[in-house]
Amino acid sequence: MGEDEKAFWRRRFLSGRTPKACRNGPCVWFHAASVGEVTGGLGVIGRLPDVDPQVEVFLSVGTPQGYRFARSHVPKNVQVFEAPMDVPWAVWRTVTSLRPDVFVTLESEFWPLLHWCLRKHGIPVVLLNGRVSEKSWRQYRRFFFIFGHVFRSIQWACVNTVEDQQRLVTLGVSPQRITVTGSAKYDTLTHRADPSLVEAWRRRLGLSSEAPALVAGSLRGEECQALLEIFIKLKRECPRLVGIFAPRHLDRVASMIAWLQGHGVPYDLLSSFLSNESQRRQSDCLVVDGIGHLFELYGLGHFIFCGGTLAPVGGHNIVEPLAWGKTVYYGPHVEKVWEEQVVLQRHGAGIMVHSPEDLYGRWRHALLSGAFGGWKKDAARKALEELGGAAERQLTSLQPFLWRAKAQEASK
């Protein structure tokens, strides 16, 4: 762990500065776990000034990678800070210093002490992009004596699916305070898909636009080895092929490197290109050993696989490659992204495979037939359009809390 990351975790215990609001307008505190949750909040955060130009926006983030991503992607008027650990001194100091008019938690960030402190100060809690997996739901039910008050404190919830809605109701959220809006993380994808970013990566990695590239993202479990094996077999028939492999969790990087070394496969680490501008690519196999780059790397791919789908995880973000006009391949385990894959299948922008062998066969056929450049841009665009619009629906739900804050301030 580097010094910057150590400093980040120290600040999470609030040994450093605490943010303060100017109180010129409504104060909204967003909280995100990491990169994915920040992405989901960008659509609403970016539009808040349209609702109230005087709104003050704060965003707390729980990981160093998410913090860096937020600093580079949120509007300049948003103050980004390290999320307080769920310990009494950190939570109390942050809440009493910031005193937001509304606290917005993103996806599934439910912290007992933080929510208790917010309730003690009369601060309303809103959930956006809410999701509760089957596994998490069982855990919350098991420890309901700890989490019960967290869910009862939610005054409004915008959730991704009807299943999320039903689980929240069983956990104590009033059904009258829940609306199914979908996820807002798809609303900003098209804006983020800047072609100049792809060209910059091509130059940095020394990639030819003519050579086919395989990008496998969010790999879990056995997928980490399976996709490397597929790449090796495909490369025997197409020597120009380049492979980019991003595990979901960085602790899998070491095992992927060990596998490549054990099979005598040369590789490069993506970090070597980021730390040294003069670095030149030595191999056609790149292992992504950092967080926050995958979305842009998808823009390089002719073949895209999204992980957590051949491994029985339930799927991760299968929509991001659509922003680049790419067709997405994924396995049968898509319980967490079921609605998204239905939309992708309907428009022909997603292809489900049932095994590594099935994936290899499809990609081999495309390579040998020369059809690897034929992604369906129109299909991807239409699917992304259908999945969009959640940010506007969530803003509508958030507006009454801003109006209430202004009315209370005016009455003082």
Query: Alpha helices, DSSP H only, in 212-334?
Result: 223-237, 253-262, 270-275, 294-298
Q: How many residues does the chain have?
A: 412
Residue 288 near residue 273 (C-beta atoms within 8 A): no
Residue 289 near residue 253 (C-beta atoms within 8 A): yes
If phi > 0 it is left, if psi is from -120 to 50 it is alpha, else beta; for residue 107 that is left
What are 387's two structure tokens? 């999945």
- Given CA atoms 9, 11, 14, 15 in this order, what sign does their dihedral have? positive
How far apart (Å, rounded) are the C-alpha atoms in residues 399 and 89?
31
Q: Strands across the sheet with 27-32, in order?
A: 79-82, 56-61, 27-32, 102-106, 125-130, 154-159, 178-180
Q: What is the DSSP letter of 268?
A: E
Rg (CA), the chain: 22
- Picking from 70, 72, 64, 90, the residue whose alpha carbon sits closest to that of residue 4 is 64
In sequence order, the 6+-apart residues with CB closer than 8 A to the CB of 99 are 21, 27, 121, 123
- Picking from 133, 141, 138, the residue whose alpha carbon sits closest to that of residue 161 is 133
Q: How far is CA 26 from the centre of its chain?
A: 27
In sequence order, the 6+-apart residues with CB closer than 8 A to the CB of 130 are 107, 108, 157, 158, 159, 160, 164, 168
Element containing residue 93 per DSSP (H, E): helix 88-98
CA geometry: angle 36, 42, 47, nearest 5 deg? 165
* Catalytic (active site) residue 5: no
How far apart (Å, rounded) are the C-alpha atoms in residues 311 and 323?
25
CB neighbourhood size of 315 (10 A): 23
Among residues 37, 107, 109, 320, which one is catalytic?
Answer: 37
Q: Which residues are catalytic?
A: 37
